[in-house]
Structure 1
Amino acid sequence: MNITKEQIDALNAVVKVAITKEDYQDKVQAILEDYRKQANIPGFRKGHVPMGLIKKQYGKAVLVDEVNKLIQDNLNKYLTEEKLDVLGNPLPKQQDDFNWDAENLDFEFELGLAPEFEAPIKTKKAITQYKIVADKKMIDEQVDRIGKQYGKLISKTEVSKKDEVTGTFSNEAEEIDNKTTIELSNLKAKKATDALVGKKVGDVVTLKTKGLFKEDYQLSSALGLAADKSADLDTEVTFTIEEINEREPAEMNQELFDKLFGEEKISTVKELRDKIKEDTEKQFEQQSDQKLLNDITENFIENTKFELPTEFLKKWIQVTGEKPLTEEEASAEFEKSEKGLRYQLIEGKIIQENNLQVNFDELKDFAKGFIKSQMAQYGQLNPAEEELDNIAARIMSNQDEVKRLSEQLMSQKLLSLYKEKANLKEKELSYDEFIKEVYGKE
C-alpha cells in the first residue's frame, strides 16, 4: 500500500491511496475459507462447498469490506503520522468507472485542512469586565426578608397594607379554587389593595386578575394555575378571607445570627450586612463571568481573521448527515455552524499554546465541588469525604458526565487565563444597572 498527498492549496489537499492485491488477498482468502466451512448450501455437505461458488456468492462483498477497513486504518494512521490537522473527515472522490476486479486499486480522498492563524489573547481594544455589587437597597431588602422569614405571626382582625392574608381564590368558569397566602405588599393594583384594606375574616372581595401582582409568577402561584394559562388571564376572581396576620420581624440578635450562619460566626448587624453583601456578590460573579466569556468569544470570532475550506466543508456537511442534503441546505447549515467552528479552532489554539490540560485528579476534585454545591441546596452542608468520593466515582464512570464536567472545567481554566492575560477594563455597577446595560431591561 502506498499513500501520497497532493497539496491543492493551503486549505485543501487530495490523498491518494494505492492498494495492491498483496495488501488484502491473504485476509480475503482466510475469510472466504471460514465462510466455506460454515456454509449450508443445498446439494453440498457442510464444509465441502466448492470455493468457486463461495467466491461467486461472497467474494466481492468480502473484498470491498476488507479494502475499506484497510483504507480506514491506514489513512487514519497516515494523517496522524503526518500531523495533518483536518476539518471534518476525508471525503472519497467519486469514481464512476471503478473496477473492483483490477489487480491494483486506486482511491482518492479530499481533505479540508485547518488554517494557520494567530490568536493573541491581549487585544488592542479593552473588553469590559463587569463587577456586580450589592447596593444598600438590595442589602436592606435581604435583611428585611430575613427578619420576616424568622419573625412571628400576630393575628389581626382587620386587614392593613402590611399584612399577610390567607384565603381562597375562586372562579368556577376558569376552574380556579385555590387556598393561598398573599402579602399586600406584593400587589401591584392599587384598587386591589384598597379593596382588601379594612376587610375582616369571612369577607369576600372581588379582584381583577390582570395586573394584580407585581410579578407574573405570583399570579399563577396564587391562583393555582400553570404559568402559560395565567399569563394572559383577564377575568374577575373572588377572594374569601380566612386568616389575617401581621408578620413581626425577628430581632437581629445573636440567637438569629447563630441560626443563620453557625455559632459565633457573626455577632453584629454590620457583620450580617457584610456577609449578605459578600454572599450576594459571589452569586453575581457567575453571571458576570459568563458575560465576560461571551464577550471574549465574540471578540475572538470578530477579530481573528482566517480562511476556511468552505467548499469542502459544505460538501462534507452535504453527505455526512443522517440524510443527504441539497447544496442549498448544506450552505445554510454551514452558515449556521461557521461561527461555532471558528471559535472551536481559536479555542483549540489557545488551549494548545497555553498548555491547558484537564487531568484526572483535577476533574475528580471539580466533580466533588459540584456535588457539594448540589447537596448544600438540600441542606447537606458538611457531607462526609467518603460519601463525596463514592458519588464522584459513579459520576466519573459515566463518559457523558465526564465529557460535560471536562468542558466546564476547561471553561473555568480559559476564563482564568483571560482574566490574567486579556485586555480588560473593570466596570462596577449594581445588579439593576447591569441588567439594564447588558440586556436593555428596566
Structure 2
Amino acid sequence: MNLQAGKMDHFAALDGSPIEVGADIDQLKVEHILQRDRDVWHVFPQHPFLRIDADLLRKRIAELTSFPVFSSALIVQNVSGKDFGSRLIGSLAGGGVNAGFGPGSQVFVDGKANAKTRFLFNANAPLITGGTPWCADSFNVIYVDGTDLFQHKYGELIVVDKRSRTSSKWFDFTPLLDLRDRYCRDYFSLGKDSAPNLPVLEALLDDIFVQNRLSLTAAEEYHRRVSPTMVSNDYEAPVLTKYCRPTHDSSGQPKIEVSFALLHYETALRELDAIKKESSAGNLDEAFRHGVYCLVAVAASIEAVANKLVFLQQGQHPDHRDKRTPLKKLNDSAAALATAKGATYTPLCQGDGMFDALDSVRVIRNSFMHAKELESDIDPTTLASTILTDVNEGNCRNYLQQLRLAVEHVFTQFSDLGAPIVTKKNVTWFGEIEVP
C-alpha cells in the first residue's frame, strides 16, 4: 500500500504537495535519502519549518542499490499482512482473541528477511511531522542489498528528559539526539503562527546531517561485519485459522501450532449458548447433549493450557506416560518456569473455587469418555439424573467462569507469556454470546 504525506500533518514538497513514499524497498529508499542528503531538505517559514525537494529526492532514489536506513518501519515476515494485523490487534486486547504469535514465529526479522513473505509495518506514516525522518537513528537498522532486506537489532530505547532515544553500543547517538531534541523544543513545539529564527535552524540542520553521515557509516560497517553468515528462510506465508500460530522446528522448517486451549474454550462458550436456547425452549434432550459437550470442551481447554506450560518448561510435549492431572501439570510447570526466572508462583489450590470446579470437570469428563453406562442418582429437585444437573446451564456457566479465572490467575504471574484465552472482562470479541 502506498503512503502519502499530505500538507497538514506530514512533511511536504517545496510547493506543499504530498510526497509519494511508496512501499517496501521504495519506502526505504526515500527514508535513506532523507537521512543522508542535507540538500534535499529546505528550511521553510511555516510549521513544521522544513520541506523536501521532491525532484531531487526522486533523482537520488534512482541511483540507490545497497544502503543502510533507520526506518520508521519494521520488517515483518512469515505471515500474511491480514494475519499479522489481526494478531497485532488481538495482542492489544490482552491476547487470547486468536492464537497470536509464539516465540518460534520469527515474525519480526532479526537477520536476513524471508524473500517470499515480507512487508514493512508502519505504526505511523513515514513522513508524519511528529516523527523525525531527517534523523538517522533507531533501535533497529535495516540494510537493503539489491532486492534482499536485512534487519538488525542495533540498540535499546531509553528515556532522557521525558523523551525516548536510542542507546547503542555500536554508535553514540547522543550528539545527534541532542540536536533532534533542540529542533523539537525550539521549532516543532512552536505554534502554527510562530516566526522562529530560520538561520539558526539552517545551522542546526547542518549539524544534524554531519551526525547522520557518521551514523549511517557506522551502520554500514556493522552490517558488513555481521551479515556474511546470515541466510534467509524463504517460503510462502502459510494459511492460518484464528486458532493457528506460525512456528519453526529445530531445523528451521516452518510449522503450524494449533491453540487447542482457545478452540476448546470457544467451543464451550458456543455450547453454553446452545444450552440456554434449548433450555428456554423446553428441549431437555438437546440441552443435555450440549451440556455434556460444554463440559468436555472445558476439560479439554484446561488440559491444553497445562500441556502448553509443560512444553514451555520442558521443551517437549507431554505424552501418555505423564499421568499427572491437568491441574497438577499446570501448577508444576508454572512453578518451575517461575523459579527459572527467579520468581515465585502462587498455585491453584484445592479448596478454592477455581481448583475445585476444574478438578470436578476432570472427574465428570472422564466418566463420559470411558463410555460406561454407569447408574447415576436421581436429583430430588429435578427428578432427573444428577448427570443432567452436572451439565445444566448454571453449572456450565460456573465451569467456564472458573476456567477463565484460573487462566487469568496463572498468566498474570508471567508477563512475558500471553494468555491462551481472553481473561479480561472488558474485552468483547465473541459477538453477543455470553462469556462468563
Please give the TM-score of this superposition, normalised by the length of structure 2: 0.22
> Quick check: which one's strand share is greater?
1
Q: Which of structures 1 and 2 has the larger relative contact order (alpha carbons within 8 angstroms, sep 6+)?
A: 1
Please give the TM-score of this superposition, normalised by the length of structure 1: 0.21
> Quick check: which one's helix share is greater?
1
